[in-house]
Structure 1
Amino acid sequence: MKHNFRNTALAALVALAAAGASASGTHAGGHGHDADEAIGKPGVATKATRTINVDMTDSMRFTPANISVKQGETVRFVIKNSGQLKHELVIGTEKELKEHYEVMKKNPEMEHSDPNMVTLAAGKTGEIVWQFTKAGKVDFACLQPGHYDAGMKGAVNVTKTGK
């Protein structure tokens, strides 16, 4: 029971921290709806137009670190942790990632279950299905303490379609 209470308390802390940063309000994931619209939305796996494999390593890098997609495209990311340390891939705006990283530094054992992120133990594989609804740059990073500062980040470049 203590474990569930701790996770609930940490989730509330994240939501409160995000509420201070978002004038548009927050939801259970702890980030504002405007930010969600800026980065896209959870995708439907059956509508994914392609799969992109992303590798995470203890050299604090993603491979690839720069990804190009088209506006409106739904992508299935298959993420593998090839390292010995716990890593994660979190999709968000740069501001949102930095804010979440500060919370993670204070609560390094925080667990996530939002659709824009996956946390993986050494040797494990997971996936994110995401639809990129707006043209522009969407950031991603590992927010495990020390990893973001070491440069474990990347970007998805979303090119405008003729819609």
Structure 2
Amino acid sequence: MKKSLLVIGAAALIPSGVMAGGSHSDGHHHETEPAHHQDMGHGDDHHASGGHASMVGEPAAADAAGRTVHVDLLDTMRFAFDAPLDLKRGQAVRFVVINRGQVRHEFSIGSKDEQESHRAMMRQMPNMVHDDPNTVTVEPGQTRELTWRFDGEQPVVFACNIPGHAEAGMVATATLKP
């Protein structure tokens, strides 16, 4: 009898463990196998700060943006910015990102090292979909927005880190002005 109660009690705990597994509210979604946030090349410290702080800045509220830049994502593996990337430290910019192509693309803001790390993670999990403050996945015909306040001493790198895209030239770099 004790053994039966123990088995029933253990079985009752299984669903609660599964339900306590969490959601993808951190902005990462996976179309194939699940992955844990720590395995994605990200630390957990950005949750405490309320966003994805970076070597090149941090997320900003859309209404804080003093400028809007439209970005077309093209299947020629290029970004087409509607204005020069004349960026200043402390400036908040709203990016309206439109996928004009027929394949999925990504728009990511970071330093060179951050982009290289993200690219390596994407090689391990190529079907990962992002909805983060600094990175969005954009399906064909879709428009996404993100707003970023630029800061730091490092050049800003914009990249599509879907495997093969950055390597084919889907990267742009800007130097922050004081």
Tell me the TM-score normalised to structure 2 length.
0.72
| Residue in 2 that maps onto 1:73 | 91
Find the structure with the greater CA-based Rg: 2
Q: CA deviation at 1:96?
A: 1.3
Which structure 1 residue ranges, 5 or more long, are not aligned?
A: 19-25
Q: How does 1:86-125 map onto structure 2 within 5 Å?
A: 86-125=104-143
Which structure 2 residue ranges, 5 or more long, are not aligned?
A: 1-17
For the aligned residue pairs, the C-alpha RMSD in angstroms reads 2.7
Q: Deviations over 1:80-111 (max 9, x none)?
A: 10000000111111111111111111211112
Aligned partners of 1:123, 1:57: CA distance in 2, in Å?
Answer: 11
| Residue in 2 that maps onto 1:47 | 64
Aligned partners of 2:115, 2:55: CA distance in 1, in Å?
Answer: 13
Q: Deviations over 1:102-128 (max 9, x none)?
A: 111121111223200111100111011
Contact 2:109 2:135 in 1 (8 A): yes
| Residue in 1 that maps onto 2:12 | none
Q: Deviations over 1:55-82 (max 9, x none)?
A: 1100000013961112111100001100
| Residue in 2 that maps onto 1:11 | 37
The letter of the residue matching 1:81 is N
Contact 2:53 2:59 in 1 (8 A): no
How many residues end up aligned between the 2 structures? 146
Aligned partners of 1:104, 1:73: CA distance in 2, in Å?
Answer: 29
Q: CA deviation at 1:12?
A: 3.3
Which runs of at least 4 in structure 1 moved beyond 3 Å after TM superposition? Answer: 4-8
| Residue in 1 that maps onto 2:149 | 131
Using the aligned pairs only, state the percent identity. Answer: 37
Tell me the TM-score normalised to structure 1 length.
0.78
Aligned partners of 2:133, 2:72: CA distance in 1, in Å?
Answer: 19
Would the alpha carbon gap of residues 126 and 27 (structure 1) be closer, same or farther in structure 2, given more than 3 Å must change? same
